[in-house]
Amino acid sequence: EPEVTQTPSHQVTQMGQEVILRCVPISNHLYFYWYRQILGQKVEFLVSFYNNEISEKSEIFDDQFSVERPDGSNFTLKIRSTKLEDSAMYFCASSEVGGTEAFFGQGTRLTVV
């Protein structure tokens, strides 16, 4: 069964460092998303991406965040200068049609120290 895969599963980084979280969406899907979940809190939308551009972003997704689809299979989230409050689970998701069934990866647990 096709699935969304994310690497790494756990990343520890020092405050102020840049991190890149990687995702391989399901191959025939056209819409890609990043969400995050701070421990004990709701899953929150960060950004959606379609046709090689951002289609929507939340207020959380400020200038320190960026997304890229560098080739036909990968989808990345870059955090330029990490802060302690960026510690969270980051989930990549993809869907065939925008706004409908979205399939999530297993997440990357980011710990900023």
Residue 42 in contact with other proteins, rule: CB under 8 A = yes
Comparing CA positions, the residue from 39, 41, 38, 23 lying closest to residue 102 is 23
- List 7, 11, 50, 69, residue binding other proteins (CB under 8 A): 50
Comparing CB distances to other proteins, the nearer of 82 and 95 is 95
Question: Least distance from C-beta 40 to other proteins, angstroms?
Answer: 9
Query: How far apart are CB 16 and other proteins at their closest, in Å?
Result: 26
Selected binder of other proteins within 11, 22, 44, 66 (CB under 8 A): 44
DSSP of the chain: ----EEE-SEEEE-TT--EEEEEE--TT--EEEEEEE-TTS-EEEEEEEETTEEEEE-TT--TTEEEE--SSS-EEEEESS--GGG-EEEEEEEESSTTS--EE---EEEEE-
Q: Among 13-21, 43-51, 63-71, 73-81, which window interacts with other proteins (CB under 8 A)?
A: 43-51
Is residue 23 within 8 Å of residue 103, measured between CB atoms?
Answer: no
Residue 64 in contact with other proteins, rule: CB under 8 A:
no
Query: Where along the sequence are the contacts to other proteins (CB under 8 A)?
Result: 4, 6, 31, 33, 35, 41-45, 48, 50, 55-56, 58, 89, 91, 93, 95, 97-107, 109
